[in-house]
Amino acid sequence: MALKSLKKQRRIQVIALAAAALVISTALIGYAMRDGINFFRSPSQVVEEPPAPNETFRIGGLVEEGSLVRGQGEEIRFNVTDGGASVPVVFAGVLPDLFEENQGMVGTGRYVDGVFRASEILAKHDETYMPKEVVDALKEQGVYKAPDS
């Protein structure tokens, strides 16, 4: 009788240990991914519902013509638009070679005090490519022009 009780107790301990390990591993994965998931927003969505200053997200659209200003040092200012709204962007760093006005871009960063502070800027990589999210946002605003084939 004592042997069955010992086996049952050992089985319960193993199950409890496995459950605890599962909870800890899930918590660690969630903690590791907290900054790795960046949601995409169009400029119109950012203006309508501004995200919290501590939230990192991606914004995409066209670089507004006439808005590109190179400041002191490496700081660059410009506006990104989807045709419905414009959001000012500040970026300190080196822009991609293909970055220019009236071209598609996607930036990663935070929206603080009405300005998107970008930590990374990506530009289109050839004459016809534009990220799907940017195309969708531009189509929604009715300003998307398909590239000439």
Question: Quick one: pLDDT at residue 78?
Answer: 93
| Distance from C-alpha of 31 to C-alpha of 109, rounded to nearest angstrom | 19
Tell me if 148 is assigned to some domain: no
Question: Quick one: pLDDT at residue 149?
Answer: 45
| pLDDT digit string, tens, across residues 58-109 | 998 888 888 888 877 778 999 999 888 899 999 988 888 888 888 888 999 9
Tell me if 58 is assigned to some domain: yes
Question: Quick one: pLDDT at residue 143?
Answer: 61
What does the mean pLDDT of the chain come to? 83
Q: Is the pLDDT of residue 50 over 60?
A: yes
Tell me if 84 is assigned to some domain: yes
Q: Is the pLDDT of residue 124 over 80?
A: no
Count of residues in the chain: 149
Question: Quick one: pLDDT at residue 147?
Answer: 56
Contacts 24+ apart (CB under 8 A), 42-45: 42/82, 42/84, 42/85, 42/133, 42/134, 42/137, 42/140, 42/141, 43/80, 43/81, 43/82, 43/84, 43/85, 43/86, 43/87, 43/137, 44/82, 44/84, 44/85, 44/137, 44/140, 44/141, 45/137
Which is higher by pLDDT, 1 or 115? 115
**Domain range for residue 102?**
39-141
User: Which CATH number do you get for residue 130?
Assistant: 2.40.50.140
Q: Is the pLDDT of residue 23 over 80?
A: yes
Query: Is residue 21 domain-shared with residue 87, that is, in the same domain?
Result: no
Which is higher by pLDDT, 147 or 83? 83
Q: Is the pLDDT of residue 116 over 60?
A: yes
Contacts of 82 (CB under 8 A, 6+ apart): 42, 43, 44, 61, 62, 134, 137, 138, 140, 141, 143
Tell me if 64 is assigned to some domain: yes
Tell me if 119 is assigned to some domain: yes
